[in-house]
Amino acid sequence: MSRPKSSLLECIPNFSEGQNPKIIKEIVKSIEAIHGLEILHVDIGYSVNRSVVTFLGEPAAVIEGAFMGIKTAASLIDMSKQKGTHPRIGATDVCPLVPYRNLSKEEAIHWSNRLGKRVGEELQIPVYLYEWSAKENHRKLLADIRKGGYENMSIKIKSKGWQPDYGPINFSPQTGATVIGGRFFLIAFNIQLSTQRLDIAKKIAGALREKRGRSSEQNTGLKGVRAIGWYIPEYKEVQVSSNVTDFRTTSLFELFEACRKLAKADNVEISGSELIGMIPMEAIRNAGIEIIQAGKTRELNNPVKAAIEYLGLNNIKPFLPEERIISLKSIL
């Protein structure tokens, strides 16, 4: 009789530091010191001043690792001095928990509450629960919690409907606040435009971003897509930075094509794209199949290669499938 596979939980904390290698190293070191988890990838963004760490393991170990990462970040990052392009409200801006294997949505919610309670009580950091874990609808979306940014959080935290789920109501300028929650796989996908015109990137992001009206007829944009436009000094071009909250609803190919058509209307080409963190095999393979079916590639037998080439994932910086596709990584 075969032994049942253990439960695995994925955690992807986003830390508000991408410019000091020593701080990033200490945060990662504190996480990987915990037995029962494996660091899969560390994505460091200098211009946005943000690092995304992806790790996987037994739920209890992952929660301990997440706590240690949040604790280390709180001691080393001073948010009152931090600056960066990426929206943020705290040293650990957001800490998602994704059920990877043999874990239910309800179990992910359970673990997010355990982590949130401990962070709030032991570290005295205000914690907001989001996505599956949100206790109120208006606090489900990360963008809504983060609206106003770190700079306005000291006022927002005391406003009606915005007191934290765990931790103090008093805002700490050094640590800021943290958002924690269980959610489905999210893909951070940035499409780079061959221009420095930020107005074009913002206009395209606004057209792509999902917007919900009171009726279905008023809904616009691509379902489950969050997007903003920003300028990346190290690349000397602008990007449409997006989060795809459910690749089963809106694929990377659909998003890329919509962005390409909007850019073309402004006589702008796409110069490449990049993934922040990791991507599930299913998501990149599905995109490749769509690309092949649409006749956009000569690579007819390898959907993953077709996706990497057509989406330009190798154009900005090297994209190594064995490091960026989660099912190709070594799993505990």
CA–CA dist 17, 103 (Å, integer):
31
> Does the active-site annotation cover 35?
no
Characterise 149 by phi-psi region: left (phi > 0), alpha (psi -120 to 50), beta (else): left
CA–CA dist 174, 169 (Å, integer):
15
Give first-to-last CA distance, the chain, whole Å: 20
Q: Is 69 exposed, middle or buried (0-12, 13-18, 19+ CB in 10 A)?
A: buried
CA–CA dist 150, 42 (Å, integer):
24
Nearest to 75 by CA among 23, 146, 153, 151: 23
Active-site entry in 35, 41, 86, 110:
86
Q: CB count, 10 Å around CB of 163?
A: 14
Q: Give a three-class secondary structure readout of 49-115.
A: CEEEEEEEECHHHHHHHHHHHHHHHHHHCCCCCCCCCCCCCECEEEEEEEEEECCCHHHHHHHHHHH
- Residue 196 in tokens: 């420095």
CA 170 to chain centre: 27
Following DSSP, what letter does each residue of 276-308 receive, concatenated?
Answer: ES-B-HHHHHHHHHHHHHTT--S--S-HHHHHH
In degrees to the nearest 10, what's the CA dihedral of 168, 172, 174, 175? 20
For CA atoms 94, 29, 75, 323, the dihedral sign is: negative
CB contact at 8 A, 108 and 118: no
- Residue 192 in tokens: 């780079």
| Residues carrying an active site annotation | 86
